[in-house]
Chains A and B, each alone.
Chain A
């Protein structure tokens, strides 16, 4: 028999594997290990999230962030309004319209949400 034929015959013999009697039990053992690993991972992520949340919340309270954010918000609204006036005098209608500055904030918020969605999508694709 030519060497190539021997090789093919040996390959075929290797490929012929009868199913073992405990194939189901083996699969269940693997699945139990996967389940255990998954449960451990969930507990770890949950614990890390909780610890992070508690630390974050305590930092927010300790640093008096809410009053700072309020002050920064009114200041940034003033800066944004003057900026928009300088950049685009045509946008007067928007600022002076019935919705005024609220509309600008709404559009900015939507833009941030859209950006978040795009970033999420890109991360998923990667």
Chain B
């Protein structure tokens, strides 16, 4: 792609790029991948997937998004739309792991990972690592991918109450870890 063409594409809005992609312009779609790739990969890593697997899943999600780009009407953000596709693809992979599935269903029995220094203030990625698998997955789905509790329950094929329980406990633990000593989450910057 020429520098001029790339400059032209980089000046377009996501909805315009999606329109071009819908007419078969793969370079326009490439610009969308450039803009939203990092966010999608980060979300998948936050859901508990390894970096390499997250990249594979993110690639598959973008290919699936290109195949169904005509369904994107620009009513919501393109990034949010792709994140949902990626999150659902991640869940499908999780469903194949029977042991993980059993742990997700056992909401009340889950114990979070032990932290070396529970009183230390940490960033979101670090704090998420301290959650139990189910909590981490449900919190990421609901607050990272923008799924409602009901949508997350349907996608995970779990009872709504189990998902709500995971989210509640996950949020409580995140709050404690992100702002451990009466500090607030407001004003936190530079989360990686």
Residues of A with Cβ closer than 8 Å to B?
1, 3, 5-7, 9-11, 13-14, 16-20, 23-24, 26-31, 33-35, 37-38
Contacts and interface: CB of A to CB of B under 8 A. Distances in A.
B63 interface: yes
Interface in B143-177: 143-144, 171, 174-175
B175 A30 contact: no
A29 B59 contact: yes
B191 A30 contact: no
A38 B27 CA distance: 13
A27 B63 contact: no
Majority DSSP secondary structure for residues of A touching B: helix
B47 to A, nearest CB: 11
A26 B43 CA distance: 15
B186 A30 contact: no
Contacts of A23: 34, 37-38
Given A6-B175, A10-B171, A17-B38, A30 B63 contact: yes
B37 A10 contact: no
Nearest to A1: B184
Of the four ranges (under 10, 10 to 19, 20 to 34, 35 or more), the interface on chain B belongs to: 35 or more
Nearest to B1: A31
A91 B29 CA distance: 57
Contacts of A11: 143
B41 A31 contact: no
B125 to A, nearest CB: 9
A35 B66 CA distance: 12
15 contacts: A1-B175, A6-B174, A10-B143, A13-B188, A14-B144, A18-B38, A19-B38, A20-B41, A23-B34, A23-B38, A27-B33, A30-B30, A30-B63, A34-B26, A34-B30
A18 B59 CA distance: 18
Given A14-B140, A20-B38, 15 more contacts: A1-B185, A6-B171, A6-B174, A10-B124, A13-B185, A13-B188, A14-B43, A17-B38, A17-B39, A17-B42, A18-B192, A23-B34, A23-B37, A26-B37, A30-B62
